[in-house]
Structure 1
Amino acid sequence: MFFLGLYDWLPVKILTVALLILITVYLIRKSIKLFFDKTSFLDEKREETLIHFANQVTKVLGLVFFFIYVISPFFDLAKLVTGSVVVAGALALIFQHIIRDYIMGLTYLFERQIHHGDYVIINGNCQGKIEEISMRHLKIRQYDGYLYTVSYSNITELQNGNRGRRRVNESLVLNYRQNPDDAFKVMEEVAETCNEKYGEYLLKDEKGVPVENFKFNHITELNVEFRGHRYSLSGLVNEADIVEAGKKVRYELAKAAHKYELMMAESLSTGD
């Protein structure tokens, strides 16, 4: 009788429900992981992404159910639900940005555009490895070590390297006064140097032949920010080597620009 009376105490009920929710969430997560461990109809990275997303969903649902239980003694939930159409509409307008994040997050996930651990470029200025896929946002570990968080609704452009194959794409933005013929010769030389020195990073086919060597792609953009023209170099490399290969290519470009005194594009504020 003592324990039954103790259970009627509201704080004890809340703690009991919280414990039950935690156990339920744990069992659901464990079951999902066990299911994927015992099956093989999805690739490993896809399974890892779904597990990661399921963990986020179960956490949110657990918090929602707990919140509903806590407020239930103070409100008539039946009347609250039946009379909440106008409120729900108003909340949808207020939180439309958040709702759009959730919808776009589900779209990215189920269209298989992103996977946990992928190397991506977001909106052309943030690149790195996906560390977390939540219901509202992505967390990207950039090459400089900073963790970048971006909501799905703010993603206007997403570039995702295919699993097992990534393309290094580096460039020099040269002043519009730079003679293109001279720049072409330097960029071609850099491409040859990269193939000779960093060929181990290149993706190989079954015969050990590079699928795509480092190559100069000519002028890929004119009048970049009204400062100059972009001369690009690219190569298809192993996914595991994308960061190191990019560093090496950038080094060779910088060294060649200094050696041949190429005219780099300058900010308009310099008054050149």
Structure 2
Amino acid sequence: MFFSGLFQQFPVKVLTVALLIILIVYFIRKSIKLFFDKTSFLDEKREETLMHFSNQVTKVLGLALFFIYLLSHFFKLGKLITGSVVLASALALIFQHIIRDYIMGLTYLLERQIHHGDYVILNGNRQGKIEEISMRYLKIRQYDGYLYTVSYSNITELQNGNRGRRRVNESLVLNYRQNPDDAFKVMEEVARICNEKYGQYLLKDENGVPEESFQFKQITELNVDFRGHQYSLSALVKENDFVEASKKVRYELAMAAYKNDLMMAESFNTN
């Protein structure tokens, strides 16, 4: 009788339901993990991505069920369902961008455009390794160590480098007064040096021939931030060597600029 009366108390019932939901979520996650451990029809990265995403989904569903149970004690279930439909319609209008995030997130996942651990470039200016794939956003660890979070609806361009190849693309922004002919000679020399010193990083075909060597791409952009012109060098390298190859190319560019007294672009901001 004591335990029967105890379980009728509202705080105890709420705690019991919360623990039950936690256990259900735990067993669902363990079952999914066990399923992937026992099967091999998906690659490891795909399994890791689905596991990561399913953890996010079960957490959200568990919280939703708990709050529905909690509200059912204060409102009649019929009225609660009717009110929930009306409320959901209103919230759908208010939180359109959030709903769009969820839909786009599912699209990226189902179309296999991204996987946990992939190296990606977002919107042309953010790049790093995917650390978290949630239902609404991506988190990528940038090369400078910062963790960048972006909602799916704000992704206008996504480049995925985890397909066995990456493109190193490094540049110098030189002053308007720099003679382009002199800059061209220096950049072409840097490309030659990189091919000699760092050829092991290049992506090669089955015959051992580089698919794209280090090449000077000439002037790739004019009037960069009203400071000067951009001279670029690029190559296709192996995914695992991308970071190291980029560092080496940046070093060679900096050394060439120093040795040849190239006029680097300067900011006109005097504040």
Same fold (TM over 0.5): yes
Give the drift of 1:37.
2.2
CA distance in 1 between partners of 2:4 and 2:265 (Å): 78
TM-score, normalised on structure 2?
0.93
1:67 Cα deviation after fit:
1.2
Matches within 5 A, 1:74-153: 74-153=74-153
Match in the other structure for 2:45: 45
Rounded to whole Å, the distance in 2 between the matches of 1:77 and 1:171 is: 63
For 2:213, what is the secondary structure of its paired residue?
coil
Q: Which deviates more from structure 2 when the two are superposed, residues 242-251 or residues 219-228?
A: 219-228
The more displaced of 139-148 and 224-233 is 224-233
Aligned to 2:29: 29
Using the TM superposition, name which of 56-65 and 2-11 deviates more: 2-11
Deviates more, 1:249-258 or 1:260-269: 260-269
Q: Secondary structure at the match of 1:267?
A: coil
Residue 139 of structure 2 aligns to which amino acid in structure 1?
A: K
Which residue number in structure 2 is paired with residue 166 of structure 1? 166
- C-alpha distance in structure 2 between counterparts of 1:220 and 1:39, whole Å: 48
2:233 aligns to what SS in structure 1? strand
| Paired letter, 2:195 | N
SS at match of 2:264: coil
Q: Give the distance between the partners of 2:39 and 2:33, measured in 1 at CA.
A: 10
CA offsets 1:219-249 (integer angstroms, 9 cap, x no match): 2222222322211111112212211211111
Single out whichever of 131-140 and 158-167 deviates more from structure 2. Answer: 158-167
Per mean C-alpha deviation after superposition, the further-off stretch among 225-234 and 124-133 is 225-234
Corresponding residue number in structure 1 for 2:247: 247
1:270 is displaced (CA, Å) by: 5.1
Partners of 1:90 and 1:77 in 2: CA distance: 19
2:214 and 2:47 map into 1 onto residues whose CA distance is 33
Q: Which residue of 2 aligns with 1:226?
A: 226
Report the alpha carbon displacement of residue 188 of structure 1 after superposing the two structures with TM: 1.1
In structure 1, the partner of 2:197 is: 197
Residue 185 of structure 2 is matched in structure 1 by 185
Deviations along 1:4-47, one digit per CA (max 9) or x if unpaired, are: 22221222222221122111111211222222222222222122
Structure 1 ranges of 4+ moved more than 4 A: none
The CA distance in 1 between the partners of 2:34 and 2:251, in whole Å, is 46
Alpha-carbon RMSD = 1.8
Structure 2 SS opposite 1:269: coil
Give the alignment's TM-score, normalised by structure 1. 0.92
Residue 89 (structure 1) shift: 2.6
Deviation at 1:119, TM superposition (A): 0.9
Q: What is the distance in 1 between the residues matched to 2:10 and 2:270?
A: 69
Q: CA 1:165/1:266 → structure 2, altered by over 3 Å: closer, same or farther?
A: same
Q: SS in structure 2 opposite 1:40?
A: coil
CA–CA separation in structure 1 for the residues paired with 2:232 and 2:47 = 36
Q: Distance in 2 between matches of 1:263 and 1:62?
A: 60
Using the TM superposition, give the Cα deviation of residue 93 of structure 1 relative to its aligned residue in structure 2, in angstroms. 2.1
- CA–CA distance in structure 1, aligned partners of residues 147 and 246 of structure 2: 20
Structure 2 gap segments, 5+ residues each: none
Counterpart of 1:150, as a letter, is V
Q: Distance in 1 between matches of 2:189 and 2:207?
A: 26
Measure, in 2, the Cα distance between the counterparts of 1:42 and 1:144. Answer: 32
The Cα offsets for residues 153-206 of structure 1, whole Å up to 9 and x where unpaired, read as: 222222221422111111111223322221111111111111222222222333
Shift of 1:263: 1.7
**In 2, distance between residues paired with 1:131 and 1:55?**
14
Distance of 1:140 and 1:93 partners within structure 2: 30
What amino acid is aligned across from residue 110 of structure 2 in structure 1? F
Residues of 1 paired with 2:145 and 2:58: CA distance?
A: 29
Change (3 A) 1:270 1:197: farther
Q: CA contact under 8 A between 2:72 and 2:80: conserved in structure 1?
A: no
Moved more, 136-145 or 205-214: 205-214
Change (3 A) 1:25 1:83: closer
